[in-house]
Amino acid sequence: MFFPLDSWVAVPVTSAVTYFIYKTLEPSSPVSVLLLLGIAPGALSWTLYGGSGSVIAHIFTVYVSYWALLVTYTIAYRLSPFHPLARYPGPLLCRISKAWLAYIVATSGKMHLYIQNLHMRYGDVVRIGPNEVSVTHRDFIGVIGPKGLPKGPYYETRAHKAGTSLNAIRDQALHSVRRRPWARGMNSAAMKYYEELVEETVGDLVASLKRRTTKAIDFSEWMTYFGFDFMGHMAFTHDYGLLKNGYDKEGLTPLIEHAMQDVAWVSHVPWSIDYLRHIPGVYKHWLRIKALGVQTVRKRIALGSTRRDLFYHLMDEDNRERVKPDINVVAIDGQLAIIAGGDTTATALSHLFYCLLRHPQYLERLRKEIDDAVPIACGSFKLDFSKLPAMPFLNAFINETLRLYPPVLSGLQRRVEAGTGGRFIGPHFIPEQTQVSFSAYTIHRDPRYFSPLTDTFWPDRWLVQEQYVLPSGGVIPAAEVVTDRDVFFPFSQGPTVCAGKTLALTEIRSVACALLQTFDISNADEASFDAWEDNLEEMFTTKRSTLPVFLSLRT
Are 316 and 347 contained in the same domain? yes
Of all residues in the chain, the percent with pLDDT exceeding 70 is 95
Which of 57, 62, 68, 66 is closest to 45 using CA atoms? 62
The answer to which of 135-139, 173-177, 250-254, 399-403 has the lowest mean pLDDT is 173-177
Are 456 and 539 contained in the same domain? no
Are 306 and 176 contained in the same domain? yes
Burial class (CB in 10 A: 0-12, 13-18, 19+), 163: middle
In whole angstroms, how far apart are CA 424 and each of 100, 135, 139, 154, 443?
A: 27, 11, 9, 21, 18
- pLDDT category at 172 given cuts 50, 70, 90 is confident
Q: Please say which residue of 483, 500, 526 terminates a domain.
A: 483
- What domain count does the chain have? 3
Average pLDDT, the chain: 88
SS3 call for 299: helix
Residue 269 lies in a domain: yes
Q: Please say which residue of 79, 99, 117 terminates a domain.
A: 79
Residue 99 lies in a domain: no
Q: What is the pLDDT of residues 29-83, one digit of tens each?
A: 888 989 999 999 888 888 877 666 788 888 898 899 999 999 999 999 999 999 9
DSSP sequence for 372-422: HHS--BTTB----TTTGGG-HHHHHHHHHHHHHS-SS-S-EEEEE-TTS--
Are 69 and 205 contained in the same domain? no
DSSP sequence for 22-70: HHHH---SHHHHIIIIIIHHHHHHHHH--S-S-HHHHHHHHHHHHHHHH
Query: Which residues 6+ apart lie within 8 Å of 548 measured at CB?
Result: 216, 217, 218, 219, 523, 524, 525, 528
Helices (H), 450-549: 501-518, 526-531
Are 337 and 195 contained in the same domain? yes
Residue type, 400: E
Are 466 and 385 contained in the same domain? no
Are 478 and 492 contained in the same domain? no
Residue 114 lies in a domain: no
Q: Please say which residue of 53, 79, 105 terminates a domain.
A: 79
Are 62 and 72 contained in the same domain? yes
The DSSP element (H or E) to which 208 belongs, if any, is helix 188-210
Are 332 and 477 contained in the same domain? no
Are 410 and 362 contained in the same domain? yes
Residue 28 lies in a domain: yes
Are 64 and 35 contained in the same domain? yes
- pLDDT category at 5 given cuts 50, 70, 90 is very low
* 327 vs 95: which has the higher pLDDT: 95
Q: Indicate if the alpha-carbon torsion angle 467, 470, 475, 476 is positive or negative.
A: negative
CA distance 276 to 259: 14
Q: What is the pLDDT of residues 531-546, one digit of tens each?
A: 999 999 998 889 999 9
Query: Annotation-wise, does 498 bind a ligand?
Result: yes
Is the pLDDT at 362 greater than 90? The verdict is: yes
CA distance 403 to 542: 14
Question: Exposure string (b/e) for 267-299, b if CB count within 10 Å is 16 or more?
Answer: bbbbebbeeeeeeeebbebbebbbebbeebbee
CA distance 224 to 232: 12
Residue 142 lies in a domain: no
Residue 69 lies in a domain: yes
Are 528 and 476 contained in the same domain? no
- CATH number for the domain including 434? 1.10.630.10
C-alpha 242: how far from chain center: 24
338 touches 231 (CB < 8 A)? yes
Note down the domain range covering 541: 162-449+484-553
Residue 98 lies in a domain: no
Peptide bond into 270 cis (omega under 30): no
Which of 421, 416, 447, 448 is closest to 434 using CA atoms? 416
163 touches 450 (CB < 8 A)? no
- pLDDT category at 312 given cuts 50, 70, 90 is confident
The answer to which of 79-88, 326-335, 345-354, 402-411 has the lowest mean pLDDT is 326-335
Helix axes 284-303, 219-236, angle to 10 degrees: 50
Is the pLDDT at 377 greater than 70? The verdict is: no
CA distance 332 to 500: 16
CA distance 171 to 175: 6
347 touches 268 (CB < 8 A)? no
3-state secondary structure 138-179: HHHHHHHCCCCCCECHHHHHHEECCEECHHHCCCHHHHHHHH
229 touches 246 (CB < 8 A)? no
CA distance 394 to 402: 12
CA distance 409 to 370: 29
542 touches 407 (CB < 8 A)? yes
444 touches 482 (CB < 8 A)? no
Residue 106 lies in a domain: no
